[in-house]
Amino acid sequence: MSLLLLGIGSMWAKKPETTGLQEVRNVIFLIGDGMGLNQICTLDSPNNFERAQATGFSKTASYDHKVTDSAASGTAMACGIKTRNRHIGLDKDSLPVPSLLAEMHDRQFATGIVVSCMIDHATPASFYAHQPNRHMSAEIIGDLYRSSLDYFAAGGRKIVSSDSLTDKGFVVCNSLEASANARQGRVAVLLADEALPPASQRGDIMQQAVKDALRFLSNQPQGFGLMVEGSQIDWTCHDNNGDELRAEMADFNEIVGICMDYCDQHPGTLLIVTADHETGATTLIGEDKTPTFASKKHTGVWVPVFAYGTNAGQFAKVQENSSFKEAILRMLAGKKNPGKGKKQ
Ligand SMILES: [Zn+2]
């Protein structure tokens, strides 16, 4: 009898975790690499960040450093664990941990990635790869071939093998025009040989890539998880280049708007916009808000979190960057683990 009561007690104890949550069908995770609050404040008002329905903060320290790199923070957000700097998809003991996108795939969701860097860079790699060092490009690309991604658009044509992607069922496209008619299967869009050009020189290719990803993933029956990175915000701050920072933030702001509009049109979609860390100890000086940099490196300050759409209010708090994965998995609609790789 007491065992029975214990059982009932634990059932009840679990309930409040899910109380008040609505089912989420689509998840869009936008990461501005190196994007602290001052980077966002380079934007004039009104801007799309101001449309957020909930705001919070994310604490970015890694397992072994107060100042994280993009590998440990990408892994924290993707895999839900604090790990060592340079680790990709591995915990502090170097054991692999599945990413949010991999777990969503196991639950029959479609998954995708859109980034303006090469596909092997730390942030996108954290969502599909498991390697002890972010610079192990060949091994990371090997994990890309073994991954469960349904769609990716990124730079890095020179480091991937079209044949290897084709062998894994990807339709390989060298432009968004080529991918525009894809409806099913798996799609790899290689947008450039290396990284995409800087925002001041690349037109609207990132906005078009995000729209293409949303179009493709919306066709999949179960819903989707999509990670998009404004990869080069970080690079402009490492370079202490205020003009390019403004251009990258204007570019990313448009992507935020596209994804918020998508949430408006598709109830059941959750959008989270945040950063992996701040870069440059960036401040904005004077009436002109001139970007001014006290560092060429990352800093350990909290970064903002903007949420929009279904369950946005859940993120209106101070949270560890390793808390997003579990928070999102708890909200997902649909069937759980019907069997990896099985056709339904
Ligand atoms: Zn960086």
Residue 31 alpha carbon to ligand 1 centre in Å: 13
Q: What CATH superfamily is the domain 23-300?
A: Alkaline Phosphatase, subunit A (3.40.720.10)
CA within 13 Å, CB half, 135:
2
Look at residue 4 in the predicted model and tell me its pLDDT: 47
Domain locations along the chain:
23-300
Residue 27 alpha carbon to ligand 1 centre in Å: 25
Residue 222 alpha carbon to ligand 1 centre in Å: 35
Tell me: cis bond preceding 124? Omega within 30 of 0 counts: no
Residue 86 alpha carbon to ligand 1 centre in Å: 12
Residue 239 alpha carbon to ligand 1 centre in Å: 10
| Residues 134-166 pLDDT 10s | 999 999 999 999 999 999 999 999 999 999 999
Look at residue 334 in the predicted model and tell me its pLDDT: 65
Look at residue 344 in the predicted model and tell me its pLDDT: 33
**336 falls in which pLDDT band (50, 70, 90)?**
low
| Residues 71-115 pLDDT 10s | 999 999 999 999 999 999 999 999 999 999 999 999 999 999 999
CB atoms within 5 A of ion ligand 1 belong to 234
DSSP state of 109: -
Residue 43 alpha carbon to ligand 1 centre in Å: 21
pLDDT at 340 over 60: no
Look at residue 335 in the predicted model and tell me its pLDDT: 56
**16 falls in which pLDDT band (50, 70, 90)?**
very low
Question: What percentage of the chain has pLDDT greater than the value 90?
Answer: 89
| Residues 262-306 pLDDT 10s | 999 999 999 999 999 999 999 999 999 999 999 999 999 999 999
Among residues 66, 87, 92, the alpha carbon closest in space to that of 135 is found at 87
d(Cα 172, Cα 190) in Å, to the nearest integer?
7
Which range among 28-37, 111-120, 208-217, 333-342 shows the weakest confidence by mean pLDDT? 333-342
